[in-house]
Structure 1
Amino acid sequence: MKKVIGLIFVIILSFWSVKSLIGRGYFPMHDDTQVARVVVMGKALRNGQFPVRWVSDLGYGYGYPLYNFYGPLPYYFGGSLYALGVDSVMATKWMFGIGTVLAAVTMYFLLYPMLGLLAAVTGSIVFLYAPYHAVQIFIRGSVGEYWAVAFIPLLLLGINKKKPIIGTLGLAGIILSHTILGFISTIVLGFSIVIFMIRRRDWNMLNILFLGLGISTFFWLPAIVEMQYTSVSNMISSSSTSFSDHFICLSQLWNSPWGYGGSALGCTDGMSFKIGKFHSILFLLSLLLLLFNRLVIRLKRINIIILIVAAYTITMIFFMLPLSSFIWSIFPLTRYIQYPWRLLSFVTVGIGIMSAYIVASWKAPIIRLLTAGILITGTIIINAKLFIPQYQYLRNTEQFETKEELRFRISKISDEYLPKDINRPKNVRDIVQKAVSNTSSIQVKELSLKETLMRYEIISLKPQELQMNIAYFPGWIFFVNNHEVIPNIVSGIPSVTISAGMSIIEARFVNTPIRTVANCISLISIVACLALCTYGKKTNA
């Protein structure tokens, strides 16, 4: 019962973090594609596609394999709401809000068995109201990142309590929410396994690693193998963005001006990367308690756990500073991380845990209560005001879903998953209206029109090449009168040969061998988790 009461308190105290999401308005953010991504996910789910890989409308109307590469988990939630009839803006804001509060809830579940109720509530709120959390939600609009951060406590809970199923869900949740944070988490977990397996033969973390990677294989394996068919690699290699331009100055971690701009070279960024004075003081205070609190025998094991958390947090801070540039330069894959300040996500987790340790360190219940009250109140008073957008505006929901909005304005923001050589429209008049259109020599009747299945009845006055306005990607196969044909690909667009008279043209998007293998591995991993869960229950019975 105490655990439930604490959880209710955490949810209530989360109110100020999502207060700005209540109401009819919407707000701008750096990644201003969120409503569109919810809409196309919802349409794909409504049409029966699962797992969702290909989306229509985006990619200037050519469509593209957005969720073959981009963390889909938050959008499964938002898209499901949209598919069930919730309007697109409301579904998107629910996606924002659930991801935000989920972080506090999972942190509470991590801390409660470790440090008790008061410490768990305190750590959850300190974690939730970290300044960088506000940056993610209301400035960057990086939904995938703050959903991924919400799963980190589950990963840690699974490791600490030797509950591989929970840890597996945590790791899989991180990977499926945000590719880059998933990559970092997997590397850190792998490094930890090497370190701790040397000290003691503990297979728990290894189980979590394999099962977490296994469940999410349907996403990350095709993403790695099929990335070569997109423009992503070209964009990264030709981009002027360098990780060395985006290190954080040490003074910025203590405090830096709040803004709604972007990341820039040096210490004068348009947005804040501060840990914050209050959070920094809590972190330093927890380090002092960790060093000198040897009299509290009941926290002896916890001291070791907190020491590990502190070490990882300090390491993450180090890797955000210019001092670490020589290490970044050694590993070529760091170019995919792009911004060292992404590691602030992990720092906020560490500080949340460390702040809970401050409360748990006191023996006297009244002092623990007072300490928790001061830390929670101080955190909300100081940082709740950061959880607001730059401004809000009213716009009809339908305007977020027009062809012009989806196929041009949003497509311009994010078109990296289109083929490398495809011609990108320069103005709205050039966007694709239909996959196949009537011309002077052909008449077109749509028989089926879904993301992964297009079927047309074509009446042609002469033999000719019929262009299909689809961004070609492995998995597309084409049929003319029920016979599979090999398309001619020009500038990323397929065309098929038809004869004079009536023809039935069909385009299907099917699994490639690598996607089939990946799907099977994920299914096997899910079955393994269920078997492990059942075995664990029988063992405990």
Structure 2
Amino acid sequence: MNSLRNTSRPRLPIGAMARRLSRVWMWLARRVSAVQFPPALRLTLILLVPACLPLAAPGYFFDAHDAHHSVFFLVEFDQAIRDGVLWPVWGPDHALGFGYPLWLVYAPLAYYVAEAFHLLGLGFTAAVKATWALSFVVGALGMYRLARRWWGDAVGLVAAMAYTYAPYHLVQIYVRAALAEFVALAWFPWVLLAFAELWDAPRLRQTVRAALAFAALLLTHTVSSLIFAPLLIAFLATKWVGDLAAARRRTHDAKREAKLTGDSRPPTSNLQPPTSSLQSLVFGVLLAAIFIVPMLFERRYIVEAQWVHDTYNYRQHFVYPSQFFSPDWGFGYSVKGPGDGMSFQIGLLPFIAALVGIIGSRAQTANCRLQIADQKPPISRLRSPVSSLLSPVPPLFLAAVTVVAIFAMTPASQPIWDALPLVGLIQFPWRLLAITTITLALLAAAGAHWLSLSDSEQPAPVDDRTSPYVYLLALAFVAASLPYTRPELRPIRPQDESAVAIIEFETKHPDMRGMTRWAERMPADADSPLIAQYLAGQPLQRAAIVAGEGVILEQQHTGASGRAHVQAQSGVRLRFYTYFFPGWRVEVNGRPAEIAADPPNGLIGLTLPAGEHEVRLRFGATPLRRAAAIISLSALVGLLVLWLIGARDERSARPPGAGIR
């Protein structure tokens, strides 16, 4: 019944893939080097350095909450990729080695990015560090672009720094080490920017960009998407209401103009329905169907209740009002009551800057409307340069979102949480600080814009790069949060970058051992003979004969497959110390075999007759996962077609000779 020989895990050659990634990297580097960066953008990139500097230091902040997860999730992801799985679902070493369908419920895009760095030659921890750093850059550039679109280059710098150095943003990386959430937060400004540009100029190619941005968020972190979706919908609704109001004003002015000119033609409205935005939302969801559909319909096969009760129950993690402004900083955990070991502050400086943004924008809007009202005839208002000073996003909307988010984090909002069952998946109400991070940054940008205007005597928009206020404010955001960019670093051990880290973590935190529907109880240490093999660095013997007479002559196991050569003197019961789960298939001597869940842990078991058998185990797609992949692939093809049509239309609409220099 003992294994006589166990071969080592094979590693597939990836040299060709790495070379292709290197060529792509060099191409991107050449394109970036050819771009002329505005001074404010260059300063934005320079001021990111203090935030990223700890990532260049030796060691890693392994004492952060999910730091080990950020590395060993990549170890699991890499095993699946090397085993030929293009869309990983199964993490083979979780649950004391029984495995777990991690990426069925955990969106994988952040780990595709980290895996790309790993395939380029970086170690696991270094690849994760590179992903953190890239997310810093992507998020800051997104916020810069978003604020720049509305208020100018230097104001974009303020927004980028307010966002990057927001206390919760730094908590996400250096206290929580929540990689996927951090990457998702980097997508927030890009999604808003894509939909803002689409709303203002509904073109096919912009429809594609917005769909891709939204899909990227959905494929990065589920809870962050759940948190962000109401903000996006409210943003689009606000734009729609604003357009309705503007259309009414245009109609009113047109009627007055008609009376003055004697024109009897009825006024027309150019208001268009938000078709393009709806198309982008739908395409984004369809593109992410490869993850969303199995997550919705196959999550019933795991014990989901273990992730939303006790430690993960939202009732224990509300934020008390004083904590929003407490400067205390710590690396501990969230607990019931106000005695948390981590910070939930929104920051005094972001709050004050946001107040300036609200007050200044209201004063600016009132002043602009007075100036517009003085212009005659009424129709001239539509072309007035003064009207361009009006904020494209009402600051009161951003303020209202901030207030709602803050209220929803306090104990007073518990009845609302209790009434909405889906929000329990958020687990921690303080995750809504992700929303205030972006709204306060935009309000601070609005305040900087107002300060730059008040520093000028010109009635029309001015170049805010001439004002020192925006630069001082940007530097203030950096200086205020510098003490929060000092994580607790410790050396990287070899086992930190291997599956052993998972076993060490789960033996230390037994409540983190995942279960499937077929498991009668949470696995105990005594249930898994694999623990000793992991800790001793031995080849894993996942297959074992648990009944009957026989011997396993040879076995080997990879990220999503396994093989056992069995010689049975009589009928035997063969067990793989792997959770039974939809997608696992077994072949015996090249023919499909029936498998079942062996109690009490719900492990894969099958019966073999006497004789010699080659048993092969492979994790594959279910019909549902296959259908979801087809939906996503079809959506991708549809977006490609829209992009090509849009490019053709834009070329045909371009005047002759345009673009020729």
8 A contact 1:59–1:411 mirrored in 2: no
> Structure 1 pair 477/429, CA: closer, same or farther in 2 (3 Å)?
closer
> Where does 1:173-184 land on structure 2 (aligned, <5 Å)?
173-184=216-227
Deviation at 1:169, TM superposition (A): 2.5
Conserved 8 A contact 1:38-1:88:
yes
1:344 to partner: Cα distance? 0.5
User: Aligned match of 1:212 in 279, 284, 287?
Assistant: 284
Distance 1:407 1:511 in 2: 27
Q: Kindly provide the CA deviation profile for residues 466-496 of structure 1, in whole angstroms up to 9, marking residues without a partner as x.
A: 1111111111111212222221312311111
Are residue 441 (structure 1) and residue 550 (structure 2) matched? yes
Contact map agreement 1:359 1:368 (CA 8 A) in 2: no
Q: 2:521 & 2:314 partners in 1: Cα distance? A: 28
Q: Does 1:291 align with 2:327?
A: no
Higher mean alpha-carbon deviation, 191-200 vs 252-261, is at 191-200
2:165 counterpart residue number: 129
TM-score by length of 1: 0.92
Q: Does 1:514 align with 2:624?
A: yes
User: How far apart are the structure 2 equivalents of 1:116 and 1:367?
Assistant: 8
The offset of 1:372, in angstroms, is: 1.2
Partner SS state of residue 470, structure 1: strand
* One-letter amino acid matched to 1:461: Q
Q: Which runs of 5+ in 2 are unaligned?
A: 1-34, 199-205, 245-271, 369-385, 457-462, 534-539, 652-661
Match of residue 228, structure 1, among 275, 300, 318 = 300
Q: CA deviation at 1:152?
A: 0.8
Q: Which residue of 1 aligns with 2:643?
A: 533
Alpha-carbon offset, residue 346 of structure 1 = 1.0
User: Separation in 2 of the partners of 1:188 and 1:514?
Assistant: 31
Deviation of 1:85 (Å)? 3.1
Q: 2:500 aligns with which of 400, 404, 410?
A: 404
Match for 1:471 among 570, 573, 579? Answer: 579
Asked if the contact 1:193–1:206 (Cα under 8 Å) also holds between the matched residues in 2, the reply is no
> What's the offset of the Cα at 1:36?
0.7
Secondary structure (helix, strand or coil) at the match of 1:442 reads strand
Cα 1:409/1:250, change in 2 over 3 Å: closer
2:202 corresponds to: none
Aligned partners of 1:165, 1:316: CA distance in 2, in Å?
30
Aligned pair in 2 of structure 1 residues 240, 406: CA closer, same or farther (>3 Å)? closer
Distance in 1 of aligned mates of 2:221 and 2:151: 29
Q: Distance in 1 between matches of 2:39 and 2:650?
A: 27
How far off its partner does 1:422 sit?
5.6
Match of 2:50 among 9, 16, 39: 16
Q: Which letter maps to 1:454?
A: G
Q: Does 1:425 align with 2:524?
A: yes
The separation in 1 between residues aligned to 2:507 and 2:216, in whole angstroms, is: 27
- Which position in structure 2 is the counterpart of 1:267? 338
Cα displacement (A) at 1:254 = 2.1
Residue 65 of structure 1, CA deviation? 1.3
TM-score (norm 2): 0.76
Bigger shift: residues 304-313 or 89-98: 304-313
Q: Which letter does structure 1 place at the counterpart of 2:47?
A: L
Letter in 2 for 1:392: L
Instruction: Provide the rounded CA distance (Å) in 1 between the counterparts of 2:46 and 2:465.
Output: 23
CA distance in 2, matches of 1:146, 1:57: 25
Deviations 1:230-262 (A, max 9, x none): 1223442x4364323322222221224111111
Aligned 8 A contact 1:320 1:341 in 2: yes
Paired residues in the alignment total: 537
CA contact (8 A) 1:476 1:509 kept: yes
| In 1, Cα distance between equivalents of 2:109 and 2:161 | 24
Please name the residue that 1:79 is paired with: 115
Deviation at 1:418, TM superposition (A): 4.3
Question: Structure 2 CA distance, aligned partners of 1:355 and 1:196?
Answer: 20
Letter in 2 for 1:10: T
- Following superposition, the deviation at residue 411 of structure 1 comes to 7.2
User: Once the two structures are superposed, what CA deviation does each residue of 1:296-336 show, in whole Å capped at 9, x if it has no partner?
Assistant: 53444425444433332232222222333332222111211
2:422 maps to a residue whose letter is L
* Cα separation, 2, equivalents of 1:470 and 1:515: 20
Percent identity between the two aligned chains: 25
Task: Give the one of 97, 110, 124 matched to 1:61.
Answer: 97
1:185 corresponds to which of 220, 223, 228: 228
Q: 1:319 aligns with which of 408, 411, 414?
A: 408
Aligned counterparts of 1:123 and 1:191: Cα–Cα separation in 2: 21
User: Given that residues 159 and 204 in structure 1 are in contact (C-alpha distance below 8 angstroms), is that contact kept between their aligned partners in structure 2?
Assistant: no
Counterpart Cα distance in 1 of 2:345 and 2:295: 33
Structure 2: how far apart are the matches of 1:211 and 1:412? Answer: 43
CA-to-aligned-CA distance 1:36-71 (integer Å, 9 cap, x gap): 111111222222211111122222222221112112
Structure 1 residue 392, shift from structure 2 partner:
1.4
Larger radius of gyration: 2
Distance 1:366 1:220 in 2: 43
Instruction: Kindly provide the CA deviation profile for residues 115-142 of structure 1, in whole angstroms up to 9, marking residues without a partner as x.
Output: 1110111111111000001111011111
**Residue aligning to 2:420:** 331
SS of the residue aligned with 1:474? coil
- 1:190-205 equivalence runs, <5 A: 190=233, 199=244, 201-205=273-277
Q: Which moved more, 1:74-83 or 1:294-303?
A: 294-303
CA distance in 1, matches of 2:325, 2:303: 38
